Each structure stands twice: as C-alpha cells, then as structure tokens.
Structure 1
C-alpha cells in the first residue's frame, strides 16, 4: 500500500519487530518501579502556616446572602446595571 501524499510504499504493521513497538506495556521489575514512583508522588502533603489558617477562617462569607442572590438570579429579579458591568470590564482591561 502506498502513502497517498508521497506515493511511497509504507511498511506493514506486521513487519515491525516486537522490540520496536513502543506501545507495549512494561513488565516485571520495571512496572513495579514505575508504580512505586507514581504512588510516592501521589502522597504529597501541604502544611499551612498558622497565619494562613487564621486568614482562611476569618475570610468566611455570608451563606444566607449568597443563597438570596442565587434565588434572585433564578427568579430573574436581580438588578443588573449594564454601565456598572461595563465599567468593571474596563477596570480589568486596564490591569492587562
């Protein structure tokens, strides 16, 4: 069979030697080593400083107000000011 672009014949897949196949799964000790390295990477740990934990606790939000805004949006009663929205976009663009 020839390549439709170059017109040059290509090798059949059966002509490729088994040791040349790159998609073949790794067996034996190599597979165990790869699995162990992946497992050790998955167990990374992050420790937050006391200041960070304190800030996260103080940065709470008013769940009732969020629920009220969500309901107003769902009902179509939330007031949208196009000029204020546009001004917000221009402020963001100035930062770029």
Structure 2
C-alpha cells in the first residue's frame, strides 16, 4: 500500500489572499510553475499563491527562487505544484 505522508503546515510564513499584505507570489500552475516574484500586480488568484513571511530577507528570496520542483511534471494536464509540494520545499529553506 501507498505510504500516507503527514500533512505539512507552513513554517515561518503563511498563505494569504491577494488583497492582504504579502511578500511574494508563487506561480502554482502552467509552464512557469514554481516562479517566485515580488512584483505581484496583475498576478491571477487562479494561478498563484500569495505568501507572507515572518521575516522576509533578500537571502531568503534568493534561496526560494533557486528551488526546483520536479513534481510539477507529475500531472496529466498542465504543470502544477500543490500547496503540500510547495510547503515541503519552502519549509526546508525556512528551517535553515
């Protein structure tokens, strides 16, 4: 049987609505899935997560932008990254 993974929770950041203060947008679906951007005007709520960090720094932003997500290709349709897949990678960066 398939091993059930424990449900992850954000560490040192939270998911927020676009209209709330946020530090970055994270492209969750499409060819640019995984893209992190601080310029969030014009970003769609349908294709992006909006994230607020407890302590956003240039170093943290740089490390988040360097992450790669092989999981985005594990779909039948468009490339996509789930919140759980994002948290798996972001939590590693935020805990170090």
TM-score range, shorter chain: under 0.3
Between structure 1 and structure 2, the one with the greater Rg is: 1
TM-score (norm 2): 0.20
Bigger fraction of residues in strand: 2
Higher relative contact order (CA 8 A, sep 6+): 2
TM-score, length of structure 1 as denominator length: 0.20
